[in-house]
Structure 1
Amino acid sequence: MSRVGKQPVEIPSGVTVTVTPDNVVTVKGTKGQLEKAMHKDMKIAVEDNKVVVTRPSDSKNHKALHGLTRALINNMVIGVTEGFSKTLQLVGVGYKAQLKGKSLILNLGYSHPIEVASIEGVTFEIPDANTVVVKGINKELVGSVAADIRTFRKPEPYKGKGIKYSDEVIRRKEGKTGK
């Protein structure tokens, strides 16, 4: 069995997990509700405050889907209880972020400010002018929005300017040497 897939997902108190016959998993918790359609071959059962995922055969594809399905359900449970967040840092002279309503305005050294419209299920927080925190209950959506924001000005290796994740380490390069 898959090492990840054979472990059951614990359901904390205050969280309800329902599975429809066509493998649509719905997780409701204090922070909201998530719904995702899983692969039709996986068998998902809720037993004794645990979600158990089983696979029909030991084929390579089913082994991969087994661990994936369990991980997706686990992320849904964590999302509706704790939520997910990604922290981005703006490094550079004059780089700053600000909120305008629910949308995010970024000044990144271009001739114009960049406006990031708010997406349902994702919120932005700005603890200081050079830090943006992307929060939400859907791990996939939070990561996607954070990656989209990062693409506006990726960190460059010479001065380290750009938008980077807070835990990201930028490998610096040495510049040209003069004669």
Structure 2
Amino acid sequence: MSRIGKHPVSVPAGTTVTVEGQTIKAKGKLGELSAVLHDAVSATYENGAITVLPREMDRQGRSLWGTSRSVVANLVKGVSEGFTEKLEISGVGYRAALDGSILNLQLGYSHDIKYAVPKEIKVVVDTPTSIQISGADKQKVGQLASEIRAFRLPEPYKGKGVKYAGETIRRKEGKKK
């Protein structure tokens, strides 16, 4: 039995949710998102909460129950609060700058990396070594943070590269004499 799926998703004030068959649409102050649930689960919206239940208690219905509830919760949280990822850049000469909707990264290569930021995602460069990515869609925010991190993964000897804020890098000992 799903422990996550049993809890209903509460809808905060200022957010409107419509359930039409397997499609759930949420609209709030940060935009509008929609998701299509699998046929093995059903969703109902009543008394300011969305309840997700499996149609049948078979293996597929139970396994998709908690996943579908998490998707719905991320929709509601995304349009009301939004999601944020923070990246930190460490290394001599490594820095980031934002030029309109183009993120310019200097990560120790012979060339600068120019990354076009999607319109629905907001990127803020607080300092040249910290990047804040925010938006309504959790998947797109995480995907963008992952792609930026992949340009220069943090290495284990000096810790140089792009890492998530709060991420710990396992350090290795260098060469011995």
> Match of 2:132?
133
3-state SS of paired residue (2:127) = coil
- State the alpha-carbon separation in 1 of the partners of residues 34 and 83 from structure 2: 16
Alpha-carbon offset, residue 41 of structure 1? 2.1
Alpha-carbon offset, residue 152 of structure 1? 0.1
TM-score, structure 2 length as denominator?
Answer: 0.97
**Structure 2 stretches lacking a partner, 5+ long:** none
> Match of 1:161?
160
Alignment partner of 1:75 is 2:74: yes
Alpha-carbon offset, residue 19 of structure 1? 1.3
Alpha-carbon offset, residue 58 of structure 1? 2.1
> Match of 1:24?
23
| Paired-residue identity, % | 42
- State the alpha-carbon separation in 1 of the partners of residues 72 and 102 from structure 2: 30
> Match of 1:7?
7
- Higher strand fraction (1 or 2): 2
> Match of 1:104?
103
- State the alpha-carbon separation in 1 of the partners of residues 27 and 55 from structure 2: 27
> Match of 1:120?
119
Alpha-carbon offset, residue 9 of structure 1? 0.3
Alpha-carbon offset, residue 120 of structure 1? 2.8
- State the alpha-carbon separation in 2 of the partners of residues 54 and 142 from structure 1: 28
Structure 2 residue identity aligned to 1:74: A
- State the alpha-carbon separation in 2 of the partners of residues 107 and 117 from structure 1: 15
3-state SS of paired residue (1:65) = helix
Alpha-carbon offset, residue 134 of structure 1? 0.7
- State the alpha-carbon separation in 1 of the partners of residues 32 and 153 from structure 2: 33
3-state SS of paired residue (1:62) = helix
- State the alpha-carbon separation in 2 of the partners of residues 14 and 2 from structure 1: 29
TM-score, structure 1 length as denominator?
Answer: 0.96
3-state SS of paired residue (1:126) = strand
Alignment of 1:15-94 (within 5 A): 15-21=15-21, 23-94=22-93
- Which 10-residue stretch deviates more, 84-93 or 34-43? 34-43
Structure 2 residue identity aligned to 1:150: R
List, as ranges, runs of 4+ consecutive aligned residues in structure 1 with deviation greater than 4 Å.
none
Structure 2 residue identity aligned to 1:158: Y
Cα RMSD (Å): 0.8
